[in-house]
Amino acid sequence: MSDQGILAVVSGFSGAGKGTLMKALLEKHHNYALSISATTREPREGETDGREYFFVTKEAFEEMIQKGQLIEHAQYVNNYYGTPRQYVFQQMADGRDVILEIEIQGALKIKERFPEALLIFVMPPSADELKRRLVGRGTETMEVIDKRMRRAGQEAAGITSYDYILINDALDQCVEEMHQLIQAQHKRVSQNLEFIQQMKSELTDR
Amino acid sequence: MSDQGILAVVSGFSGAGKGTLMKALLEKHHNYALSISATTREPREGETDGREYFFVTKEAFEEMIQKGQLIEHAQYVNNYYGTPRQYVFQQMADGRDVILEIEIQGALKIKERFPEALLIFVMPPSADELKRRLVGRGTETMEVIDKRMRRAGQEAAGITSYDYILINDALDQCVEEMHQLIQAQHKRVSQNLEFIQQMKSELTDR
């Protein structure tokens, strides 16, 4: 089948378990490359430049925009976030399936520019379960949790622009489902036009 | 996830191994219903009415067309072939994934009327392998085989209207790939609008 990697975008509510899911997917399957976003926000404690994010200045970020070095960028609370172009296309050319873990705004821009990109939205089984998980973390006040829940409600309107939803109920199952969704993309007709053309020639030139 | 069954269309060159594949899929997985086409052609030896086809007269077929009882129909070599509506929708409503094993002409009509239908084209690994399989059957003259090969070449132009291709190299693998492609369809956003709406309500009405 096609040698070209897939461009997959994974989004989800805060608390839906995206981080754990991505980590498990990359540990279990070795054909994935996780894109690292650039941002102008300050690193939080424990974050390392080039691991969680590429931390850059506002000037440097705006230069990246002008030079066309980002395939999408968005602003949240006065900070820029964006996806560096070179890494994504290099990995795809090398045959790796690239995952962008980005928010809805950026995901929709990717879909607009790359209609073949696969957009997956990870959801909790229910709103109650989402709240249980956010409370269970024990890191946030009830006020912050309520704010996250309301934000999730607003974000839910954007889900219909995605291709697939995955319900993160049992982690291992969800990892396998995500793997299968992304691998199925290699079988899309649009990924195999060369093979189809070759078959056509072989059948007619005889 | 969604309780509604998937409508999947499977096509492929004569000799690609569709028949064997369908049989293996239905034996291994029990959530599928295979639609039986109606036709005006004469039954061949060994064919039973209601198993391979519903064999009907030209008058009965044309009445089915007029009464809207077919979801697609096409003509090949002076015979009608069509897909009865009632069985397909009854099975889908019961939660079964319905497979239509039909030719390109009919498949494209299905896609036009039901954009959510999943179109899969089964291909041999190569033109040479297709020829080997047709010769291996030992049932057809070289003249008929050459005719089938040329027809496959013409049909190849229609493949780009399908969603996915599957290469039928190793049967068991191909069966699992088809199963995964169809099951992934249950995770499509368009299949889960009710769940998404419900989640949105739960998140905002708190």
Burial of A179 (0-12, 13-18, 19+ CB in 10 A): middle
Complex prediction ipTM: 0.89
pLDDT tens, B155-180? 888 999 999 999 999 999 999 999 99
Contact B162 A189 (CB under 8 A): yes
Amino acid, res. B171: L
Decide: A120 and B188 in contact? Cβ < 8 Å: no
pLDDT tens, B72-100? 999 887 899 999 999 999 999 999 999 99
Integer Cα distance of A28 and A176 in angstroms: 9
Residue A1 has pLDDT above 60, yes or no: no
Nearest chain A Cα to B181, which residue? A184
Size of interface A-B (CB pairs under 8 A): 105
Residue A163 to chain B, least CA–CA distance (Å) = 6
Numbered residues of chain B with Cβ closer than 8 Å to any chain A Cβ: 1, 121, 123, 126-128, 130, 146, 149-150, 152-154, 156-157, 159-167, 177, 180-181, 184, 187-189, 192-193, 195-196, 199-200, 202-204, 206
Decide: A6 and A190 in contact? Cβ < 8 Å: no
Give the mean model confidence (pLDDT) for residues B19-43. 95
Side-chain-facing half-sphere of A152: CA atoms under 13 Å: 33
In CATH, the number for domain B7-200 is 3.40.50.300
User: What residues in B contact A206, CB-CB < 8 Å?
Assistant: 127, 146, 149
Contact A156 B196 (CB under 8 A): yes
Give the mean model confidence (pLDDT) for residues B6-18. 91
Q: Is B121 helix (H, G, I), strand (E, B) or coil?
A: strand
Which one-letter DSSP state was computed for residue A75?
Answer: E
Amino acid, res. A177: E
Decide: A133 and A17 in contact? Cβ < 8 Å: yes
pLDDT of residue B93: 95
Q: Is A143 helix (H, G, I), strand (E, B) or coil?
A: helix
Burial of B3 (0-12, 13-18, 19+ CB in 10 A): exposed
pLDDT tens, B100-120? 999 998 999 999 999 999 999
Numbered residues of chain A with Cβ closer than 8 Å to any chain B Cβ: 1, 121, 123, 126-128, 130, 146, 149-150, 152-154, 156-157, 159-167, 177, 180-181, 183-184, 187-189, 192-193, 195-196, 199-200, 202-204, 206
Contact A164 B188 (CB under 8 A): yes
The secondary structure of B67-118 as a DSSP string is: TT-EEEEEEETTEEEEEEHHHHHHHHHTTPEEEEE--HHHHHHHHHH-TT-E
pLDDT tens, A46-93? 999 999 899 999 999 999 999 999 999 998 888 999 999 999 999 999
pLDDT of residue B68: 96
Decide: A35 and A127 in contact? Cβ < 8 Å: no
Integer Cα distance of A102 and B120 in angstroms: 31
User: Among A118-132, B20-34, B133-147, which is the least confidently predicted range?
Assistant: B133-147
Contact B165 A192 (CB under 8 A): yes
- Give, in degrees to the nearest 5, the angle at Cα B80 between B11 and B148: 45
Decide: A86 and A69 in contact? Cβ < 8 Å: yes
Give the mean model confidence (pLDDT) for residues B19-30. 94
CATH architecture observed for domain A7-35+96-204: 3-Layer(aba) Sandwich (3.40)
Contact B188 A126 (CB under 8 A): no
Task: Calculate the CA A45 to chain-centre distance.
Answer: 23
pLDDT tens, A94-131? 999 999 999 998 999 999 999 999 999 999 999 999 99
Residue A120 to chain B, least CA–CA distance (Å) = 9
Positive or negative CA dihedral for A54, A57, A58, A64?
Answer: negative
Using 50, 70 and 90 to split pLDDT, how confident is the model at B204?
Answer: confident
pLDDT tens, A3-36? 789 999 999 988 888 889 999 999 999 999 999 9
Domain residue spans in chain A? 7-35+96-204
| Mean per-residue pLDDT of chain B | 93
Burial of B101 (0-12, 13-18, 19+ CB in 10 A): buried
User: What residues in A contact B164, CB-CB < 8 Å?
Assistant: 184, 187-189
Task: Calculate the CA A118 to chain-centre distance.
Answer: 9
Decide: A107 and A164 in contact? Cβ < 8 Å: no
- Give, in degrees to the nearest 5, the angle at Cα B164 between A190 and B155: 85
Contact A203 B149 (CB under 8 A): yes
Give the mean model confidence (pLDDT) for residues A171-182. 96
Of A186, A202, A137, nearest in space to A2 by CA: A186
H/E stretch holding A65: helix A58-66
The secondary structure of B2-13 as a DSSP string is: --SPPEEEEEE-
Which pair of structure tokens corresponds to residue A32? 């994935």
Residue B14 has pLDDT above 60, yes or no: yes
Residue B43 to chain A, least CA–CA distance (Å) = 30
